[in-house]
Chain A
Amino acid sequence: MIPDHVLSMVVFSVLVALFFATVNHRDRAGFWKSAVKTFGWMALGSVAFAWLMYWTA
């Protein structure tokens, strides 16, 4: 496996977003809305956190 931090973060965010969207939503529109929203917040949060760690190092 390629040791890629961004790839692992993206794969993880996609899987977690799909999981919670599948568990919590039965309608297609609600499913995609929830999945995209969760993925976006996770990806954005990870980048923000990484930047914070880089900035404070």
Chain B
Amino acid sequence: MAQEAVPRGRAYGAALLTLLAPGLGHWLLGRRGRGVALFAIVSVTFLSGLLFDGALFPLRAENWLFRLGGIAEAGSGLLYLLGRLLGLGALEQARVTGVMFGYGNTFLVTAGLMNMLLMMDAFDIAIGRKS
């Protein structure tokens, strides 16, 4: 049985654009309202993490738990990159021993994981697996 050709290039493009900005893939696929809402939710989660004294872990941290955290946070894409470039959420003694450190990290890691999920969601929408 012949299978219908699926636009894989468009799907990978949508997923990569989501990495650039949360919700951008959805927006370009015609789900404009959803794209804007998702951008707002992921960005607020990320910014809350920074406000709650979370750290943006480097991808090459010595501590393997910090490294895992960095990989998850990097899912936020451009937000993570900008934060690192601006020196936000640096791993300092005062931050690490702060009472809100764990909470802030949870927000930042969750923002990254949310965006990874959005990449897959945009991919599924583009290939027609999801409406």
Contacts and interface: CB of A to CB of B under 8 A. Distances in A.
A4 to B, nearest CB: 9
Nearest to B41: A19
Chain B interface category by residue count:
20 to 34
A3 B48 contact: no
B114 A5 contact: no
B34 interface: yes
Given A1-B100, A12-B107, A15-B45, A23 B121 contact: yes
Interface residues of A, number: 13
Contacts of B118: 23
A11 interface: yes
A18 interface: yes
Contacts of B45: 15, 19
B131 A26 contact: yes
Contacts of A1: 51-53, 100
A12 B106 contact: yes
Given A12-B107, A15-B44, A3 B131 contact: no
Interface string B43-56: 01100100111000
Chain A CB within 10 Å, residue with most, of B37, B98, B99: B37
Contacts of A19: 38, 41-42, 45, 114
Contacts of A12: 48, 103, 106-107, 110
Interface of A: 1, 3, 5, 8, 11-12, 15-16, 18-19, 22-23, 26
